[in-house]
Amino acid sequence: MHPALSVANLLVYFCIAGTYFCLTESWSFTDGVYFIVTSVTTVGFGDVMPSNEGPWIAALLLLLLGVALIANFVSSLHRGIKVGAIRFLY
């Protein structure tokens, strides 16, 4: 998969997950995206957390999907660098 497509997948994922938490937890959209980004990247500060059991179960499933998408992004980025499709300016 091309790295640009992986980035697009991540952005769509963050928007959908952020919207889900915005609607179920009455958070702002930025709080929803903040929660999902810090959780998926395993930082997880714990300052924003779902309060009900339903969103906790959904968060678990969304986090599993997010970790897979992050791994896919890192893999496609590595493959792009390896074959020379992505070059960095030094």
Domain ranges of the chain: 3-83
Does the pLDDT of residue 87 top 70, yes or no? Answer: no
> How high is the pLDDT of residue 85?
65
Nearest alpha carbon to residue 48 among 18, 69, 72: 18
CATH topology of domain 3-83: Helix Hairpins (1.10.287)
Nearest alpha carbon to residue 66 among 18, 1, 4: 18
> How high is the pLDDT of residue 90?
46
> How high is the pLDDT of residue 43?
81
> How high is the pLDDT of residue 88?
60
CB 9 within 8 A of CB 72: yes
Q: For residue 50, which phi and psi values (nearest 5 degrees)? A: -65, 145
Give 36-86 pLDDT, tens digit per residue: 899 888 787 878 888 877 778 888 899 999 999 999 999 988 887 777 766
